[in-house]
Amino acid sequence: MKKLICAEDIETLQKEGKKSLLITKKTIITPSAKDLAEAYQIVFHMQTEPEEKIAWSDHETISKEGLVSLLRQLLHDAGTNIFSEAPFTFEKHTSGLKIIHGSTVKLQPLIKENPNVCYQELITPVERQMSGGILEIDKSSFYEEKTLESINYVIEGKLQLTIDGTTYTATKGDTIFIPKNHTVRWSTPDKVTILCGKLKGVDKQ
């Protein structure tokens, strides 16, 4: 596409019977060409140009923080976010010793359909042959089927456990052992917080 439009170009359009000309923001039209186009009733139409690609070499080097901020915004606009905050903070030694800061633990719904039952795994089976986490039930209940052996400590509140038709109540400071291969109903009329520990992949012969 020509970047300079002069009177001769307008004359050519008139002879060809054309009444419009496509131009861009970079197109230069001489004054005589403008006057002639107005006389011949030839209209200029601005073409939408594709966005220019940014050459990073032409700009200052973007900082790590700036790049993360940009990615956060792009992901937010796309409706996803892989940079969501970690569920808790911790300190860990190469030996495997791990200290989890309890005040930073963020619980997530254990069951998608029930936001009143929340859990956060703190120790994963990848790290050890067990898993451990914090369970919180708020005026709700859920069933655990095909249980694994577990030890649970009631941190706060009152917990009701139903197994084989019998209901037991555990309160703050109580420790509960759950046997394997059973169906157990966990419930509370108020709110209860429990520290849970389960054995993973360990079977007694």
pLDDT at position 199 is 75
Signed CA dihedral, 70, 72, 73, 77: sign only: positive
Q: Show Cβ contacts of residue 87 under 8 Å, excluding neighbours closer than 6 positions.
A: 105, 106, 108, 120
pLDDT at position 74 is 64
Contact in structure between 140 and 107 (CB atoms under 8 Å): no
C-alpha 199/C-alpha 60 separation (Å) is 53
Task: Break the chain into its structural domains and give their ranges.
Answer: 4-46, 90-199
Q: What is the CA radius of gyration of the chain?
A: 35
pLDDT at position 110 is 86
pLDDT at position 50 is 59
SS3 per residue for 23-84: ECCCCEECHHHHHHHHHCCCEEEECCCCCCCCCHHHCCCCCHHHHHHHHHHHHHHCCCCCCC
Per-residue pLDDT of the chain (205 residues; tens, 9 = 90+): 556 888 888 888 888 888 888 888 878 888 878 888 888 889 988 876 555 555 544 445 556 666 666 666 665 555 555 555 678 888 888 887 888 888 888 888 888 888 999 999 888 766 667 788 999 999 999 999 989 899 999 999 999 999 999 999 999 999 999 999 999 999 999 999 999 998 765 444 3
**Beta-bridge mates of residue 194:** 135, 154
Q: How far is CA 79 from the centre of its chain?
A: 8
Architecture of domain 90-199: Sandwich (2.60)
Structure pTM? 0.54
C-alpha 193/C-alpha 157 separation (Å) is 6
DSSP classification of residue 113: T
C-alpha 70/C-alpha 160 separation (Å) is 48
Q: Which of 182, 177, 141 is nearest to 159 (CA)?
A: 141
